[in-house]
Amino acid sequence: MLNIPTLPLSLYIHLPWCIRKCPYCDFNSHALRDELPEQTYIDALIKDLDADKQQVIDRPLVSIFIGGGTPSLFSPQAIERILNAVQQRFHLDANIEITLEANPGTIEKTRFAGYFSAGVNRLSVGVQSFQADKLKVLGRIHDDNEAKRAVDTVINSGFTNFNVDLMHGLPNQSIDDALFDLNTALAFSPTHLSWYQLTLEANTFFAKHPPTLPPDDLIWEMQEQGQQLLADFNFKQYEISAYSQPNKQCVHNKNYWEFGDYLGIGAGAHSKITGIVKISPFKHTQIPPFEKGGLGGIYQITRAWKHKSPKDYLDPCKNFIAEEKIIPAEELAFEFMLNALRLYQPISIKLLIERTGLTLTTLEPRLIKARAKDLLDWNETTITTTDLGRRFYNDLVGIFLELGVRS
């Protein structure tokens, strides 16, 4: 049975404001129309942290990720204040990864050096493209020169571990354009690259006013040539859109994909906590058990999310939590596979059992069906996605949603 204290635990901190909402963005971000309520929001984050820490007492944090929005709108002093509050309340793993997302349009050297001094040891820079025309189409507030200066600033501020975000499959983008962006990023020697395809998400400007994207066969060729270029530079693809130098995978995101636990504080932030308890860890409501055993309690996984609107989140009359859900046993296989199948590595059966309480026998009908379609292969120790399964990820995941799987 799962030993809860050993399950990796991460902390996500959401800072929801940005200068302008990008037309492709479906994240919980809000254009800043007035003065940034920096101190008020940090006050709320600390209260939110205090409310949640009781659910994970004595569990060390392996990673902290400060995302948004545009977190680099917040001053180094504000970031230091929240990180100090975390350190006072949690034990931090000796090798903890602390990431902050930043956009080139908000970068200056003194601010980045301040983040480094505050304890941030990894930056993720949202460049998206190093070409002015592509940045304009994407609605970014920076140009190509600012993008290059931004990455230079990261390096000169002391960061040796940083990610560059790039997109491909952009309107009017050729294969040469995509390779130019990759080559430009690689010239800065990042440790990690997120290179993902532009998709038209619901409830975005692009969904209502869709641009013309390159044909699928061109995007496929773009991906293949880009992946070969990255491999030539010793970048290994370890997830659908993530590439890293050896030993530089993103600890925080990998914990998500391996179905680890995480607390989320801030507007719209999500939490996933595994516990052996008889009541909900968040609202203390009675819940039906789905498995008895280990440590004399009930094994359960709870998801909770905070109010999305900053106004609601900051309302002192409201609880930070908007809603919570105990994951039913029949949804566990889908939840696990939705995450784990993103990784380009065999899935350990031992990990699946530890993180869900399911058994290989329980999953067998779905695994047999997926193997018959040549989407994965499996044995008693591992599940391995095929090249076809990686290409048709949504079809593969859907197999584990069909009819549910009960423990």
Question: How confident is the chain (407 residues) per 10-residue block, as mean pLDDT?
Answer: 66 96 92 94 98 89 97 96 97 97 84 96 97 96 94 95 98 98 98 96 92 96 97 97 97 97 98 72 44 43 96 95 91 92 94 87 91 95 94 93 57
What topology is assigned to 4-253 in CATH? TIM Barrel (3.20.20)
Distances (CA, A) of 203 to 25, 26, 28: 9, 7, 11
As a dihedral over the C-alpha atoms of residue 60, residue 112, residue 110, residue 34, rounded to 10 degrees, the angle is -90
What pLDDT shows up at residue 356?
A: 87
CATH 3.20.20.70, the chain: domain bounds:
4-253
Distances (CA, A) of 186 to 138, 181, 229, 232, 390: 22, 9, 10, 11, 25
Q: Mark 83-118 as b/e (b = at least 16 C-beta within 10 Å).
A: bebbeeebebeeebbbbbbbbbbbbeeebbbbbbeb
Please report how many Cα atoms fall inside a 13 Å half-sphere around the Cα of residue 28, on the Cβ side.
18
3-state secondary structure of 370: helix
Structure-token pair, residue 125:
């820079």
Question: 3.30.300.30, 1.10.10.10, 1.20.120.350, 3.30.70.1710: which CATH number matches 331-399?
Answer: 1.10.10.10
Q: Which amino acid is at 360?
A: L
What pLDDT shows up at residue 381?
A: 94
> Kind and range of the H or E element at 49?
helix 38-53
CATH 1.10.10.10, the chain: domain bounds:
331-399
